[in-house]
């Protein structure tokens, strides 16, 4: 929706010139027609003012379709900046206000139902500075947009996002929780499906966390949080979908941008990137490259009481992350109906993690320290990923649209760990024993998918059908070695190879329609057929002989996932939406491998072949009042919820295993409100949820019955100081909560402050920010299960100073203007003769 102010305004005004000059000749007939239309048609009205609050006469108002920004109607404001438009066919629209010498302003998206009047919130436009021919008009988006079907975190529009990676951005996103092990939950529920540019990521656990840490905020346009997706989306993700949209330039001409960033915490961090784009009426070529180098510190302390021993461990974790990411693609516009596209993207990540610190063993009956373990772990990880996509789009003015996507992805992940363990007497000097291990674990993941989506107008609404076939193959080879002075020997009993194949076939149908009585409905159903094969191979002890074992398991199941939504928009100032969906979360391949992995001398982890998928039924009730105050109430019931459960081995050793809890019930309430007055804007979001986890694993201390009420509060204050200076103050508070069904956490939060200066006539800007200025983003918690009582706490680097410089280059004003004029002509013709497009705003 970027318009070049000067050329576009002249164009629009020239088209209206004849009408304005003929006003006196046709005033009587125009007046009569207006009276008739006012009596029969729904009206869209509002007012345009400047920064001083004065109404602007003769401002051009464009009514645009929300779906594609096509122009539907044009009017100019009258006295005191007021305007009124006869509403078109029902659907979703927005307004653009433009005036020579001023920057354009856009309204929020609103629904036209066909009945009742619509009063759009006041539009404010500000004077442009510098040469008008060099002004690029952009719609300034709020940091968070709350809609009926999703919440959008606009990363590129906020100062304080500078220097964060994707995982840290999620940690600060509304209703999102990231625990001490980098597990992601949403609105009190685990099982979140992460999408990148609308495509699901096959990664999970530590692999997913490392990938998200390699994505810098400079690469990200927005993060979409979708709690109740429609049938068009894959059913995976009990809590919903988080879609990370990477930047892609769609401007005509040849242009680009570059950015450099520096972050100083305990250790320095650097990042930079370049974005290039060339677009004309036939092709769109685009490419990006980003580099990140970061050294980070994490402090983690834990105490575990088990049987008669207290294990007190203090860890200092230093990680060095170096990553390269790239993307290149082409869109070829065959004709006005067809587009063929191809894209390649990927990343190369190298992570060196060094963990060190002592573990103290205390005999609790006497309180006497009896030995000390010095364990330093070095883990050199690398991750290489490449994805290829071919896509085809066919769309005609009658509303028919076909999209076909074919994708291939390959991940090569390697891990090389060296773990020496030295036991000392309580004096910390006299060595008792030692055990040194080396673990090498390469993992290959291949995925292939093809999907097709078709939509057309049907019975006054919009019908969509589609399907997808996806195959994922995973091969993990875990090799464990005992290390001696001058050699290492493979421990075949503690080595394992695990192969996993997952095939999911899906079909869906979705329909939405706007009724005349101010009701819009959408319903759909998705069928998914899942086929899984897992093979865990290695050796086991049989007397004095090692014999091979093969614990192969297979699963096949087919599920139906209905979804529905109904919106009452007869009075757009008080809009209600009721939605429902059923979702699934399948176990990650690592959680199904029955092999027992040794994390350290006293902690083990193993998978569970009996782990079942977890299913969620969710109902949302959403109210949007005067396009500003948004309230959402969600009820969810989860069957067979996953939980990582600590258990015991040989009284003094513990292991972690994922099991299905019986149920989880969640009630969540979110309230958000944006406010703007001249140079000051404010946004506040309150997210709360009540969760009840319940399960019985054998009675006694093996019963889980956790009830928790938690609150997350986010606020942002923005101040426009003028002359290119802007300031930002953001705050985040997270109340006590529960992680993974077992760990009760304490409250934490942060306050960030930032400043931005626009330079070089709007082509460059410098952003400075300080995160967590009060050093309060520290996590801590407790758990008590099966005779194991634990306490833990930790923190990252705080505070951090961040600096970023970005620059846009390329001059495409003339080309953009000509292309835009041609596009507007086509869009106006379609608007005059086109039918209802329908839609509920869901993707």
DSSP code per residue over 754-772: EEEEEEGGGTEEEEEEEE-
Using the predicted structure, report yes or no on whether residue 380 has a pLDDT greater than 70: yes
pLDDT top residue among 842 and 753:
753
Tokens 């959403």 — which residue? 622
Dihedral sign computed on CA atoms, order 166, 167, 172, 175: positive
Measure Cα distances from 680 to 43, 121, 144, 535 in Å. Answer: 30, 16, 16, 60
Coil/strand/helix, residue 839: coil
CA distance 372 to 379: 22
Q: Are 415 and 350 in contact (CB under 8 A)?
A: no
User: What is the reported pTM?
Assistant: 0.72
In the predicted model, what is the mean pLDDT of residues 306-310?
A: 86
Q: What share of the chain is helix, strand, coil (3-state, %, to 5)?
A: 10, 60, 25
Q: Are 665 and 689 in contact (CB under 8 A)?
A: no
CA distance 784 to 790: 6
Say what the pLDDT of residue 94 is.
Answer: 87
pLDDT top residue among 348 and 13:
348
Nearest of 825, 802, 816, 810 to residue 161 by alpha carbon: 802
In the predicted model, what is the mean pLDDT of residues 622-645?
A: 83
User: What are the phi and psi torsion angles at 689 (to 5°)?
Assistant: -150, 150
pLDDT top residue among 55 and 392:
392
pLDDT top residue among 571 and 17:
571
Say what the pLDDT of residue 546 is.
Answer: 79
Most confident of 192-201, 374-383, 587-596, 700-709: 374-383
Strand-pair partners of 246: 220
CA distance 551 to 498: 10
Per-residue pLDDT band for 5 (boundaries 50, 70, 90) equals: very low
pLDDT tens-place string over residues 100-139: 777 778 888 887 776 667 888 888 887 765 444 444 444 4
Per-residue pLDDT band for 655 (boundaries 50, 70, 90) equals: low
Tokens 């007021």 — which residue? 82
CA distance 488 to 484: 6
Q: Are 234 and 200 in contact (CB under 8 A)?
A: yes
Give the containing element (helix H, strand E) for 709.
Answer: strand 703-722
CA distance 704 to 742: 8
pLDDT top residue among 487 and 516:
487
Say what the pLDDT of residue 19 is.
Answer: 36
CA distance 186 to 648: 30
CA distance 118 to 45: 6
Using the predicted structure, report yes or no on whether residue 12 has a pLDDT greater than 60: no
Nearest of 166, 474, 333 to residue 822 by alpha carbon: 333
pLDDT top residue among 109 and 382:
382
Give the containing element (helix H, strand E) for 234.
Answer: none
Using the predicted structure, report yes or no on whether residue 299 has a pLDDT greater than 90: yes
In the predicted model, what is the mean pLDDT of residues 9-37?
A: 40
Using the predicted structure, report yes or no on whether residue 289 has a pLDDT greater than 90: yes
| CB neighbour class for 822 (10 Å; exposed up to 12, middle 13-18, buried from 19) | exposed
Say what the pLDDT of residue 308 is.
Answer: 87
Per-residue pLDDT band for 23 (boundaries 50, 70, 90) equals: very low
pLDDT tens-place string over residues 803-836: 999 998 885 443 433 334 443 444 333 333 333 3
Tokens of 684: 């506040």
Nearest of 145, 165, 166 to residue 154 by alpha carbon: 145
């Amino acid at each position: 929706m970027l318009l070049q102010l000067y050329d576009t305004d002249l164009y629009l005004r020239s088209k209206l010139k004849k009408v304005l000059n003929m006003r006196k000749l046709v005033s009587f007939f125009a007046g009569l027609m207006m009276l008739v239309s006012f009596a029969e048609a729904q009206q869209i009205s509002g007012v345009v003012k400047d920064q001083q609050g004065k109404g602007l006469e003769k401002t051009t108002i464009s009514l645009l379709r929300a779906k594609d920004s096509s122009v539907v109607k044009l009017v100019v404001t009258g006295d005191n900046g007021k305007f009124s438009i006869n509403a078109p066919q029902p659907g979703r629209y927005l307004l653009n206000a433009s005036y020579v010498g001023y920057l354009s302003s856009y309204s929020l998206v609103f629904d036209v139902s066909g009945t009742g009047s619509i009063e759009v919130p006041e539009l404010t436009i500000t004077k442009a500075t510098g040469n008008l021919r060099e002004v690029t008009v952009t719609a300034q988006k709020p940091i968070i947009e709350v809609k009926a079907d999703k919440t959008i975190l606009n990363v590129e529009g906020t100062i304080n996002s500078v220097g964060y990676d994707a995982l840290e951005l999620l940690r600060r996103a509304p209703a999102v929780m990231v625990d001490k092990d980098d597990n992601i939950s949403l609105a009190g529920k685990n099982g979140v499906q992460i999408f990148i540019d609308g495509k699901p990521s096959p990664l999970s656990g530590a692999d997913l966390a490392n990938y998200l840490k390699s994505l810098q905020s400079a690469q990200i346009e927005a993060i979409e949080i979708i709690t109740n997706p429609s049938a068009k989306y894959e059913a995976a993700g009990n809590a919903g979908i988080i879609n990370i949209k990477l930047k892609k330039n769609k401007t005509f001409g040849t242009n680009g941008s570059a950015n450099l960033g520096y972050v100083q915490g305990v250790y320095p961090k650097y990042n930079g990137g370049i974005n290039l784009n060339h677009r004309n009426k036939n092709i769109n070529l685009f490419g990006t490259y980003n580099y990140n180098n970061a050294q980070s510190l994490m402090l983690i302390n834990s105490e575990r009481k088990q049987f008669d021993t207290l294990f007190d461990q203090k860890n200092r974790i230093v990680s060095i992350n170096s990553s390269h990411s790239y993307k290149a693609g082409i869109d070829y516009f065959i004709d006005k109906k067809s587009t063929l596209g191809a894209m390649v993207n990927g990343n190369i990540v190298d992570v060196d993690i060094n963990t060190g610190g002592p573990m103290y063993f205390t005999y609790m009956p006497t309180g006497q320290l009896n030995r000390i373990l010095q364990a330093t772990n070095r883990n050199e990880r690398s991750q290489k990923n490449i994805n290829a996509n071919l896509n085809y789009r066919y769309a005609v003015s009658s509303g028919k649209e076909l999209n076909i996507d074919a994708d291939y992805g390959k991940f090569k992940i390697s891990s090389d760990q060296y773990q020496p363990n030295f036991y000392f007497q309580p004096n910390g000097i006299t060595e008792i024993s030692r055990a040194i291990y080396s673990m090498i674990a390469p993992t290959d993941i291949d995925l292939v998918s093809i999907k097709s989506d078709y939509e057309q107008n049907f019975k006054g609404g919009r019908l969509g059908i589609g399907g997808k076939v996806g195959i994922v193959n995973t091969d993990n080879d875990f090799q464990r070695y005992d290390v001696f002075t001058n050699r290492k020997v493979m421990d075949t009993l503690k080595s394992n190879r695990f192969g996993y194949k997952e095939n999911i076939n899906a079909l869906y149908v979705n329909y939405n329609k706007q009724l005349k009585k101010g009701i819009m409905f959408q319903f759909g159903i998705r069928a998914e057929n899942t086929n899984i094969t897992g093979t865990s191979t290695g050796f086991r002890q049989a007397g004095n002989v090692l014999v091979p074992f093969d614990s192969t398991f297979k699963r096949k199941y087919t599920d139906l996932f209905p979804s529905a939504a109904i919106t009452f928009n007869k009075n757009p100032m008080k809009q209600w939406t009721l939605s429902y969906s059923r979702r699934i979360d399948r176990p990650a391949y690592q959680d199904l491998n029955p092999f027992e992995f040794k994390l350290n001398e006293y902690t083990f982890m193993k998978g569970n072949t009996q782990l079942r998928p977890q299913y969620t039924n969710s109902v949302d009730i959403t109210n949007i009042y005067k396009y500003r105050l948004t309230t959402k109430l969600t009820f969810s019931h989860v069957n067979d919820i996953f939980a990582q459960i600590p258990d015991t081995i040989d009284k003094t050793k513990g292991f972690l295993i994922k099991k299905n809890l019986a149920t989880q019930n969640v009630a969540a309430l979110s309230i958000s409100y944006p406010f703007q007055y001249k140079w000051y804007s404010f946004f506040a979001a309150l997210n709360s949820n009540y969760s009840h986890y319940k399960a019985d694993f054998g009675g006694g201390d093996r019963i889980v019955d956790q009830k928790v009420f938690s609150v997350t509060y986010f606020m942002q204050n923005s101040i426009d100081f003028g002359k290119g200076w802007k300031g930002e103050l953001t705050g985040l508070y997270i109340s006590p909560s529960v992680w993974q069904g077992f760990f009760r956490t304490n409250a934490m939060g942060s306050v960030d402050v930032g400043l931005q200066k626009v330079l070089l006539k709007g082509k460059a800007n410098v952003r400075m920010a300080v995160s967590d200025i009060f050093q309060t983003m520290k996590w801590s918690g407790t758990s008590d299960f099966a005779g194991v009582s634990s306490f833990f706490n930790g923190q990252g680097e705080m505070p951090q100073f961040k600096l970023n410089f970005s620059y846009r280059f390329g001059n495409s004003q003339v080309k953009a203007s000509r292309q835009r004029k041609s596009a507007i002509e086509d869009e106006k013709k379609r608007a005059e003769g086109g039918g209802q497009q329908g839609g509920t705003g869901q993707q």
